[in-house]
Amino acid sequence: MEKSIFRNPFAACTARDMSYDEVLSYWCSPFTFSQIEEDAIFNNLTPIFIQGARGSGKTMLLKYLSYYCQKKCAELKGEKDLVVYFSQLGSLGFYFRYKDDFGMIFKYIDCSSDIKNRLFLYYYELFISREIVLVMQDLLETDRGKYSEALSDLVDSLKTIFDDQNILNINDVVKKINDLIYELDQWIKDLIYIDNPEDVLNTYISEGIVRKILKCIRSSITQLKNIKFIIIIDEYENAHEYQRVLNTLIKQVDMDELITYRLGIRPGGMDTYKTNVGAEDIQIDRDFTRQEISFKDSSAYRKFLCDIANKRLKKINVSVDIKDILGRTEDLEKEAYDAIKDKKNKMKHFEDLKTIVSPKDYKSVVEALSYKKNPLLELLNILWLRRGKEVLEIKNEMEQFIKNKSAKSKYKEDYINKYKYQLVLLLLNIYKVRKKYYSFRTFAFLSSGAVNDFISLCRHTIVAHLSRHKDELFIMNLMIHADHSA
């Protein structure tokens, strides 16, 4: 089998599976087109839930906010001192995603709900702590000569937090956190064999690790003393019954600590507003705000999709607009004409007239209402006849429309703005022909705000096209036939 020379630019579709470098290489700013406020996302101390449906771009946005993507942005700008860059940026983000099965770790263990909540919180603390330490290692080691003393001071501080004199460098800190996670895993596995397991667990758990580590960072690295630390939690909905643990952290945000949260969530993903602080709930516009990934209008959404697709095309050295490749809009008249042109009985859609027209008049009525170049007009004529219009009036209105399509008329309004799409579907149903879905505008409409769905439609369309043509044809012609679309 001949190896393909063409790389589908829409193969990578979900930010969840992308590296930080890939996220940035595919990044197109949504801030111009959507309701998301860029300044608030980076700078507000109030926690923010970023809400959007599956595939809407939440993970892309949250990863973009994180240290590793912002580091790449700094490097592309030619920044040499990343510590100074982030201190001027004013915020530093640590990304963590809750996988769907995370809560299953605790679901079937035999212990109290209080212990399960503490387990969830401690796992959270350890995972976030590891990410923070890895970020600081990467940040400070980019200019080891300048920040070696700060890194050494940080390690000494962390040694105290973890009460382990064997910690000699930042790698040892990461190893220590991994060991603590392993101990916790083992406690769960060995639970049924442990006497007084909750007492044993109490010897493991140390609360407030994240806050302690961030405090150490401020004291060890003076440039970061006043920076906002943003803990980024993706797929909040996967915390399920432990959402109240995260809600508690949100409720306890202290503005003086300069620690805040950005949380990705699907619509309806918040199971509870309750916290573990007495009977208190978290309250919107008080303890947190919500920003929804929605676009200003359909035009803005299409412009955003166009930017995304064209950036992907440029990665494979194709500079043609995606709208020209997919076709800007559907040609419904052509689709309707093609659907019946090879049929033996091209007048089947007129047969319904037999229920309202006498046999002696049938032939003359069909002749008056016919326009072989566009069967959609024929269906509209039949609709008008059913609604009581006279045959000659319909014939005259049709002929006037064909003669001057820019002139205003009831006929034009019904055809262009009301019924054209429904007429296509009706015609295809009569002739048992499958509807073709193609063109940039149609794909944008079908994706309904889910960027990932638009990318998937593009990917499958190109795959279908390449299954029928050699790569060179796509690269040279840069047009995809409707038969090869979704």
391-400 per-position pLDDT tens digit:
999 999 999 9
Tell which of 388, 404, 430 closes a domain: 430
Same domain, 282 and 337: no
Tell which of 267, 294, 321 closes a domain: 294
Whole-angstrom Cα distance, residue 144 to residue 212? 24
User: Does residue 43 register a pLDDT over 60?
Assistant: yes
Cα-only R_g, the chain: 31
- Helices 170-189, 144-161: axis angle to 10 degrees equals 30
The mean pLDDT value for 212-227 works out to 95
Examine residue 314 and state whether it is found in any structural domain, yes or no. Answer: no
Q: Where are the alpha helices (DSSP H) in 221-327?
A: 243-251, 298-314, 322-326
Same domain, 69 and 207: yes
Neighbours of 194 (CB within 10 A): 13
Examine residue 386 and state whether it is found in any structural domain, yes or no. Answer: yes
Strand partners, 289: 48
The length of the chain is: 486
Same domain, 130 and 266: yes
Report residue 307's pLDDT band, with 50, 70 and 90 as the boundaries: very high
Residue range(s) defining the domain that contains residue 239: 35-294
Same domain, 282 and 374: no
Same domain, 72 and 128: yes
User: Does residue 240 register a pLDDT over 70?
Assistant: yes
Tell me the residue type at 76. L
Same domain, 417 and 270: no
Same domain, 227 and 84: yes
What is the pLDDT, as a whole number, of residue 293?
A: 92
Q: Structurally, how many domains does the chain consist of?
A: 2
Q: What residues contact 145, with CB distance under 8 A and at least 6 apart?
A: none
Whole-model pTM: value is 0.85
What is the pLDDT, as a whole number, of residue 175?
A: 97
Examine residue 310 and state whether it is found in any structural domain, yes or no. Answer: no
What is the pLDDT, as a whole number, of residue 44?
A: 95
Examine residue 414 and state whether it is found in any structural domain, yes or no. Answer: yes
Same domain, 273 and 338: no
174-198 per-position pLDDT tens digit:
999 999 999 888 888 887 777 777 7
119-163 per-position pLDDT tens digit:
889 999 999 999 999 999 999 988 778 999 999 999 999 999 998
Examine residue 209 and state whether it is found in any structural domain, yes or no. Answer: yes
Whole-angstrom Cα distance, residue 365 to residue 382? 10
The mean pLDDT value for 219-230 works out to 95
Same domain, 50 and 157: yes
Whole-angstrom Cα distance, residue 176 to residue 180? 6
What is the pLDDT, as a whole number, of residue 461?
A: 87
Q: What residues contact 220, with CB distance under 8 A and at least 6 apart?
A: 150, 153, 154, 157
Tell which of 395, 414, 430 closes a domain: 430
Same domain, 139 and 231: yes
